[in-house]
């Protein structure tokens, strides 16, 4: 992996390490300060495992007052802080710095309130995304945003990254499902943005904090809205003999007013890889396959499924199957969910990209990706959240071959640049972190970036909170930007990724 420039290391801070530890012992319990190399080791990377760096210290505060005091102390002593939730992020947002204190929020793991009257849950930031749904499902509720890592990722991390999921088109991402947060700013100020009431007055700091990748504050409490579990969910598995037909089908379904809960497209390469891997029974002769899912009341779902079926046939679908039971529906998804590991089986390594594109550009973008695949002589397979335009190309390569690694990195950067060119975005859900930092100037000019940096400086004048992330240190459009998986193994092999 190419080396990455990070903020200048303050040697004087590192040499003061013992003194810092004894100062911190006045704020948090001494067992909550980790300084031994063996204890620190697990924190040296997040799910972007290609980059590792041990922090100077790890601190695990237990209360919001402790967080506030740690931040205030760091601010006064110019010590860098990197906040961390579950560490499942794919863009390196929780990568430590050599001279930083890694602030693990791991002890903030309790659900504080289930408030059915106001249809919300108040939780500490390190509660997992799925735990919120688990806590309310017996009363028929759930939390809508469902990133693929939901079994392990933390709700505070979801706020930091504005995580989405397969159901973003209908239910939105984290930002649309968040009612309030308690947050600690770099100077130690504890405040709340939003609450249990809808919207907030004045400047929307809740919206600004969401997706700010831990650069503006540390979230210490989260209030999310919960929704009633849909009465039924039904899916259709549809094959197409061309990407264009699949693309037209997507556009027409949406134009007709059917907003599906989820809509996924896999290209031929991925279909084949998946079917060989887990025998999902997909139509491998098809050029593209779509899984479309509707949820809601029974009559609404039936009506939408019928419409989708009609539109699919009109757009030359080569095969069409509608789930007759929940088991069958889950079987439709099982192959899609195994798509990433399936690619891991085809090559020693794969790189998972995360761009957003206008839905209608799918055929054009896939054509370009295939051209690039020929240019860089590396195979690629594509998964597409068609509902919300989020494209995940998986580039297969062998990282032990330096030339292949270089080609893969250039290939990935070219894909993301093309996404921006057709009106899309550099990242749909993985965040910028360190991974796509250098590509920010593809999406923004210097004035845009300077405005964002001015907001950062307004809240963190010494740039101590998660420095080196999101914004380029040197304004160069380097060839960075992907999730690298070696030997089919991710940092957390047991967490699903799709």
Partner 1 sequence: MSMEEKQNSLTFQDFSQSVLKPETREDISLIIRECYKKNIPIEVNCLQSKKSIGRNFQAEKTLNLSNYRGIIEYKPEELYIKVKSGTSIKEIKTELDKYNQQLAFEPNDFGFLFKGNPDEGSIGGVVSCNFAGPRRFKVGSVRDHVLGFQGINGRGETIKSGGTVVKNVTGYDLSKILTGSFGTLTVLTEISIKVLPKPESSKTMVIKNPHLLKAIEYLNTSLSSSNDPSGGVFYPEYFSNNFTFNDLTHEGPFTAIRIEGPNESIDHRVKDLSKELELNIDETLVLENEQSKILWEKTRSLEVFSKMKSNLLRIVVPPSETFEVIKKIRPLEPKYFIDWGGSLIWLQLDKINIKIFNDIRKIVNNAGGYLTVIKIEEDLKASVDIFSVDPIRYKISEKLKKSFDPKRILNPGKMYSGI
Pick out residues in 341-360 that bind partner 1 (CB under 8 A).
356-360
Q: Closer CB to partner 1, residue 459 or residue 483? A: 459
CB of 457 to partner 1, least distance (A): 7
Interface residue with partner 1 among 5, 54, 200, 462 (CB under 8 A) is 200
The DSSP output letter for 105 is -
Q: Closer CB to partner 1, residue 282 or residue 361? A: 361
Residues 7-26 close enough to bind partner 1 by CB under 8 A: none
**265, containing H or E segment:** strand 262-267
Interface residue with partner 1 among 314, 367, 451, 475 (CB under 8 A) is 451
Are the C-beta atoms of 473 and 449 separated by less than 8 Å?
no
Using CB under 8 A as the binding rule, whether residue 462 contacts partner 1 is answered as no
Q: Closer CB to partner 1, residue 399 or residue 432? A: 432
Rounded to whole angstroms, the Cα distance separating 51 from 436 reads 13
Residues 42-61 close enough to bind partner 1 by CB under 8 A: none
Using CB under 8 A as the binding rule, whether residue 208 contacts partner 1 is answered as yes
Residues 113-172 close enough to bind partner 1 by CB under 8 A: 115-119, 140-141, 161-162, 164, 168-169, 172
With CA atoms as reference, report the closest residue to 455 among 176, 173, 146, 213: 213
Cα first-last separation, the chain: 23
Using CB under 8 A as the binding rule, whether residue 72 contacts partner 1 is answered as no
Are the C-beta atoms of 332 and 291 separated by less than 8 Å?
yes
The three-class DSSP label of residue 359 is: helix
Would you mind telling me the total number of residues written for the chain in this entry?
498
Burial class of residue 31 in the structure, from the number of CB atoms within 10 Å of its CB (0-12 exposed, 13-18 middle, 19+ buried):
exposed
Q: Closer CB to partner 1, residue 112 or residue 259? A: 259
Q: How far, CA to CA in Å, does 274 sit from each of 93, 181, 323, 412?
A: 30, 40, 19, 22
Are the C-beta atoms of 266 and 289 separated by less than 8 Å?
yes
Residues 377-416 close enough to bind partner 1 by CB under 8 A: 385, 388-390
With CA atoms as reference, report the closest residue to 146 among 168, 170, 176: 168
CB of 35 to partner 1, least distance (A): 33
Using CB under 8 A as the binding rule, whether residue 297 contacts partner 1 is answered as yes
Using CB under 8 A as the binding rule, whether residue 234 contacts partner 1 is answered as no
Q: Tell how far CA 73 is from the center of its chain.
A: 31
What mask of x and - would describe binding to partner 1 in positions 97 to 116, judged by CB under 8 A?
------------------xx
Using CB under 8 A as the binding rule, whether residue 255 contacts partner 1 is answered as yes
Q: Residue 84 is encoded by which pair of tokens?
A: 């961390």
Q: Closer CB to partner 1, residue 152 or residue 258? A: 258
What mask of x and - would describe binding to partner 1 in positions 167 to 186, judged by CB under 8 A?
-xx--xx-xx--------x-
**434, containing H or E segment:** none
Residues 256-275 close enough to bind partner 1 by CB under 8 A: 256-259
Q: Closer CB to partner 1, residue 325 or residue 447? A: 447
Using CB under 8 A as the binding rule, whether residue 455 contacts partner 1 is answered as yes
How many C-beta atoms surround the C-beta of residue 286 within 10 A? 22
CB of 374 to partner 1, least distance (A): 27
**370, containing H or E segment:** helix 362-376
CB of 43 to partner 1, least distance (A): 24
């Amino acid at each position: 992996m190419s080396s990455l420039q990070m903020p200048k290391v303050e040697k004087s801070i590192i040499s003061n390490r013992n003194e810092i530890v004894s100062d911190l012992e006045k704020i948090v319990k001494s067992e909550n300060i980790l300084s031994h190399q063996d204890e620190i080791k697990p924190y040296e990377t997040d799910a972007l495992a290609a980059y590792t760096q041990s922090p100077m210290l790890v601190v695990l505060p237990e209360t919001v007052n402790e967080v506030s005091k740690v931040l205030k102390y760091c601010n006064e002593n110019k010590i860098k802080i990197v906040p961390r939730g579950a560490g499942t992020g794919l863009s390196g947002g929780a990568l430590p710095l050599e001279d930083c204190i890694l602030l693990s929020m791991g002890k903030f793991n309790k659900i504080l309130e289930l408030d059915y009257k106001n249809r919300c849950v108040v939780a500490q930031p390190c509660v997992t995304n799925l735990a919120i749904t688990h806590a309310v499902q017996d009363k028929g509720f759930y939390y809508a945003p469902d990133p693929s890592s939901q079994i392990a990722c933390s709700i505070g991390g979801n706020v930091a990254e504005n995580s989405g999921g397969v159901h973003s088109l209908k239910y939105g991402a984290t930002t649309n499902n968040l009612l309030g947060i308690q947050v600690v700013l770099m100077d130690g100020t504890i405040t709340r943005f939003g609450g249990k009431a809808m919207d907030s007055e004045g400047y929307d700091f809740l919206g600004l904090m969401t997706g700010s990748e831990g650069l503006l504050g540390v979230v210490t409490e989260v209030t999310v809205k919960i929704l009633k579990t849909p009465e039924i969910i039904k899916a259709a598995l549809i094959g197409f003999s061309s990407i264009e037909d699949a693309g037209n089908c997507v556009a027409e379904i949406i134009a007709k007013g059917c907003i599906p809960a989820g809509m996924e497209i896999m290209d031929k390469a991925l279909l084949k890889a998946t079917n060989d891997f887990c025998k999902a029974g997909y139509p491998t002769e098809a050029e593209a396959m779509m899984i479309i899912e509707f949820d809601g009341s029974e009559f609404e779902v039936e009506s939408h499924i019928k419409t989708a079926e009609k539109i699919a046939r009109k757009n030359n679908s080569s095969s069409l199957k509608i789930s007759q039971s929940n088991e069958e529906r889950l079987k439709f998804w099982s192959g899609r969910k195994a798509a990433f590991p399936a690619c891991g089986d085809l090559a020693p390594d794969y790189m998972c990209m995360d761009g957003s594109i206008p839905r209608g550009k799918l055929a054009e973008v896939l054509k370009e990706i295939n051209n690039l695949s020929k240019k860089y002589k590396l195979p690629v397979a594509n998964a597409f959240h068609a509902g919300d335009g989020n494209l995940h190309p998986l580039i297969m390569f062998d990282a032990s071959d330096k030339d292949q690694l270089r080609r893969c990195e250039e290939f990935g950067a070219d894909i993301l640049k093309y996404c921006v060119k057709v009106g899309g975005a550099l990242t749909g859900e993985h965040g910028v972190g360190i991974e796509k930092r250098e590509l920010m100037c593809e999406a923004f000019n210097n004035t845009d970036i300077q405005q964002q940096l001015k907001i950062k400086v307004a809240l963190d004048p010494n740039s101590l909170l998660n420095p080196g992330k999101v914004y380029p240190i040197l304004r160069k459009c380097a060839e960075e930007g992907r999730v690298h998986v070696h030997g089919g193994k991710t940092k957390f092999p047991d967490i699903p990724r799709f």
